Structure 1
Amino acid sequence: MTPVVVTGPPRANLSTVDELAALGVATAHEAMGRAGYLGSALRPVQQGVRVGGTAVTALCAPGDNLMIHAAVEQCAAGDLLVVATTSPSTDGFFGELLATALRVRGVRGLVTGTGVRDVAELRAMGFPVWSAAVSAQGTVKATAGAVNVPVVLGGQPVGPGDAVLADDDGVLCVPRRQVAAVLDAARSRVAKEEAARAAFVAGELGLDRYGLRERLAGLGVRYLTAEQYAAEVQ
């Protein structure tokens, strides 16, 4: 890893990111072809919050949050701070004081593969956080890392300026150059879901709407009465 702070990376169009975030992580994930999901290990500290923003990334050494402090200076309104480490670490890298510094700059939240602390204070101040752990164990500030370089969380790459969407379903990264196309695909998916919802309200079954009866038959699934089943298993 080269110790570096990259300034002024290009960012995804924020209004487009906002439109995509409003459709939700699950919808955007499906629209991307089930790509970009940062994994089930990242869980929200709060509930009922849906945000989107442009990524400022910080790559830290285990147990050391020095580069988060360096990243704060590079953050602007509409950003989400994304933190990764060079090897796994669940220490409490982030708490209420850093959240205060980020909120003043208009940062919309934090996504981190580490732990966080001051959870009650973060909830009270309404600063959204998705993390891999909660830990009272703090960190030092002694090791150089990098800011605004590509990082990996949950096996997925996150680049500076990419769109990051987060809600109760998890966190999704949409590459900066793909945001507009993913938004179009997500809108189409929402329209299809609305039609399906209306059909289900009217009593139609998913088995019929999606042609799943034929699939079940093709897989060898048979329909038996209770009496027929009992006779077969005796």
Structure 2
Amino acid sequence: MKNIVVRNIKRTDAGLVKRLGVLGVATAHEAYGRGGLMKPYMRPVWQGGEAAGTAVTVLTHPGDNWMIHVAVEQCKEGDILVVGCSADNTDGMFGDLLATSLMARGVKALVIDAGIRDAKSLREMGFPVWSKAISAKGTVKASLGAVNVPVVCAGINVNPGDAIIADDDGVVVIKRGDAADVVAKGEKRHADEEGKRKRLAAGELGLDMYDMREPLKKAGLTYIDESPEDQI
């Protein structure tokens, strides 16, 4: 691994990122062909937080947050810091002081495939974080890594400048070149779902709205009026 910091990256268009954020993780994930979703262990530190931004990536080592400090300088307004670790780790590599620094630069959130601490303070600050764990165990600053290089975070490849959407459903990564297509498909899907929601709210059954009855019959499902046990 080269120990480098890439200063200039191409970011996903801010307008597209905003529209992806409106769609939310579930709809964006479906519109992306069910791709880009990080493993479900990546959970919000506090419920109700949501964020949409562009990835500034960090590759660091277990128990060492030196490169996170380095990465702060490369962050711009609208970014989300995405931290991948070279090996499995749950140490508390990020806390309220680093969050304060990121917020001063307009960073929207942190996504980290490791642990964080100061969970209460982060909630009170209103800084959204998605992490693998919460742990008070501290870290050192001893090993070089890299900033703004491709990383793997919770099972998903993340490139600098990719769109990151995060909410209570998890975290989804949309590649920069795919964002416009995902927005178009996602907004169409959202409109379709609004129509279905109104039909369901009016009392229509999903069985009928989705034309399930005939396929169920062909699959062998049978309706009877009484349980066989009741006939004994």
| 1:194-233 mapped onto 2 (5 Å cutoff) | 194-227=194-227, 229-230=228-229
2:125 maps to a residue whose letter is M
Q: Deviations over 1:27-72 (max 9, x none)?
A: 1111111100002101111221221000000010111111101110
Give identity over the alignment, percent: 53
Partner of 2:153: 153
For residues 168-198 of structure 1, the C-alpha deviation after alignment (integer angstroms, 9 at most, x for no partner) is 1110000001111100001100111011011
Following the alignment from structure 2 to structure 1, what is the Cα–Cα distance between the partners of residues 152 and 213? 41
Alpha-carbon distance in structure 1 between the residues aligned to 2:198 and 2:130:
33
Counterpart Cα distance in 2 of 1:154 and 1:124: 26
- Specify the alignment match of 2:113 in structure 1: 113
How far the C-alpha of 1:14 sits from its partner, in A, is 1.1
**Partner SS state of residue 73, structure 2:** helix
Compute the TM-score of the two structures, normalised by the length of structure 2.
0.96
* Alignment-mate amino acid for residue 205 of structure 1: L
* Deviation by residue 1:140-186 (Cα, 9 ceiling, x = unmatched): 11111111111112221111000000001110000001111100001
Give the aligned partner of residue 42 of structure 2.
42
User: Structure 1 length as normaliser, TM-score?
Assistant: 0.96
Q: Distance in 2 between matches of 1:219 and 1:50?
A: 41
Q: Which residue of 2 aligns with 1:75?
A: 75
- In structure 2, the partner of 1:19 is 19
Q: Which amino acid aligns with 1:230?
A: E
Unaligned runs of 5+ in 2: none
| Residue identity matched to 1:156 | I
The amino acid of 2:134's aligned partner reads V
Matched, 1:63 2:63: yes
Q: In 2, Cα distance between the equivalents of 1:147 and 1:123? A: 26
Q: Deviations over 1:171-226 (max 9, x none)?
A: 00000011111000011001110110111122111111112222222322221222
Q: How many residues align?
A: 232
